[in-house]
Every structure is written in C-alpha cells, then in structure tokens.
Structure 1
Amino acid sequence: MSQHQGSCFCGEVKFQVSGEPAAMGYCHCDSCRRWSAGPVNAFSLWPPESFKVLAGEDQIGTFHLTEQSYRKWCKKCGGHVFTDHPTMGLVDVYVANLPDLDFKPALHVHYQESVLPIHDGLPKMKDVPAEMGGSGETLPE
C-alpha cells in the first residue's frame, strides 16, 4: 500500500495518506480560489480512514463557510493543509502538500467559475460528478 507524507508550510502539522486517492483534479470554484490565493486549486480526495495526522494536531485550526467544506490550517504558520468534505465523505489533501504524490488529474470541477481556462483535454464539469452530488454536466473546453 502506498503512503505519502505531507506537512503545513512550517512543518508543525504533519500528516499521511495511505492507498490511492478517490479522485484527483483541479477545482475552479470561487471558494477554493480565494482560499488558495490562486486561479485554480489542485486537489486529491481521500477516504477519511486513509488520512492520518502524525504531528501537530493541536495546531490545526478550522474554518468553514458552508457545511460542505471544513478548511484546516496550521495555527503557527497559517499554512493550509487539508479540507474535510463531510457531505462527500472525503478529505481533500492539497496536492502541493504531498510532494511525492504522482499527481494524475482526471477532471476539472466547478469549471463554470473558472477565471483561468485550461485546455488540457480533461473533462470540464459544470459543478461536480453526479456520484458526488453534482449535476454531472460537462462544459466545453
């Protein structure tokens, strides 16, 4: 079983994921863009049982605008580490925080909110796939 370790910006919060992610891709929603301070956010979604905090659990802060996303960050450095998505039953570990993960994006989600069009041949979902509670509708590249 593969394992990947990551941390916040300062290294106070350390975590590990095991096995294979449920999905990998790019999110274009306003919330992810504003949280990441970038035009797009690379994600890797993992079953909660595959995710484990190894150190610094007492340094993890939580913020949420909606019940869909509980964003976690390091209280010491402010570095973003992961997001719990309880309605999907998944944890989003930011790809930038998993340096040895072989990132293989499969799709773009919330592409209707994109501010950076990306022409890479991957499916562009209006919101998210139907099996994750979305419309399943795709948009043209």
Structure 2
Amino acid sequence: MHSGSCLCGVVKYQIDAPIKSANHCHCGQCRKSHGAAFATYGNVRREHFRFTQGEESVSTFTSSPGVGRTFCQHCGSNLQWFAEQPYPKWVSVALGTLDTPLQNLEQKHIYTRSKADWYCLNDGLPVDDHN
C-alpha cells in the first residue's frame, strides 16, 4: 500500500495497511532528531510494517526508557519512532521517508508547549497538548 526509503536508498520498507493518522510532534527530542521545527510520523500497526531491503543497516537509538528511534547507519535518515509502553503494537513511521503518495490523513500537532519559539503554528490543524 505504501513504500519508503532512506536518503541513500540502502534501506527500503513497505506498509501493507492504511496509515491510521499522523502526528506533527514538537517535543525537543523530535526536533533534535529531525533538525526541524517538528517531526511528522504516521502511525501503523507493527505487523503491517516490514523492511524490504537493508534492514541490517538500521540502528536503533534509545532516546528514553522504552522509546526507540530507528535510523539508517549510512545516511542518518530517521525512519521510525516506537514506544514499548503504552503502544507495543504500533510503530510511527517518519512520513518524510515515504516514496508513495499519502492523502486524506487525519493529522494533529502534539507537544506544542515544547515547540520551537521561531515556528508559527497557524495551519488550522488540531492541537493535542495532553501528551
């Protein structure tokens, strides 16, 4: 249904189900890991995500207890974010790595209390500050 890859093309993946929703995360860890005002992740069940090439080149950084962020060892592309608790059956995929179109997706901003002071949040999307 969807496919994606890292910047250098060594790592490729496939998602075999619709992406449920997208979060534009403004927390400090996401901003640092992406080098941007926020990181955008799409949420899918783990059983619907699989690497199709280069899985041996994927590393995981434990950013906090029970939370991992995967990336390509060659180019550094951020690929996934996951939390063992409370979401053990889900993985969040960095939507910027998709190679296929994605339309009509529920989106919201999260952790906006931590947003970059230079970023103006005015796109009209819902904000969930209860995270």
TM-score per shorter chain, which class?
A: 0.7 to 0.9
Q: Equivalent residue for 1:6?
A: 4
Query: Structure 2 vs 1, CA of residues 101 and 69 (structure 1 numbering), >3 Å: closer, same or farther?
Result: farther
Query: Structure 2 vs 1, CA of residues 36 and 127 (structure 1 numbering), >3 Å: closer, same or farther?
Result: farther
Q: Percent identity?
A: 25
Q: Which has the higher contact order (CA 8 A, sep 6+)?
A: 2
Show structure 2 runs of 5+ residues with no match: none
Runs in 1 of length 4+ with deviation above 6 angstroms? none
Indicate which of 33, 38, 55 corresponds to 1:40.
38
Taking structure 1 as the reference length, what is the TM-score of the superposition?
0.81
Question: What secondary structure does 1:34 align onto?
Answer: helix
Q: Equivalent residue for 1:52?
A: 50
Please list the CA deviations of residues 6-51 of structure 1 after superposition, one character each: whole Å capped at 9, or x if unmatched. Answer: 1111111110112112321311000000000001111101110110
CA distance in 2, matches of 1:99, 1:68: 29
Please list the CA deviations of residues 70-118 of structure 1 after superposition, one character each: whole Å capped at 9, or x if unmatched. Answer: 1111112222221222222321111110132325342111111112231
CA distance in 2, matches of 1:27, 1:15: 22
Taking structure 2 as the reference length, what is the TM-score of the superposition?
0.87
- Tell me the number of residue pairs that the alignment of Structure 1 and Structure 2 aligns: 126
Question: What secondary structure does 2:122 align onto?
Answer: coil
Q: Give the aligned CA root-mean-square deviation in angstroms.
A: 1.5
Show structure 1 runs of 5+ residues with no match: 129-141
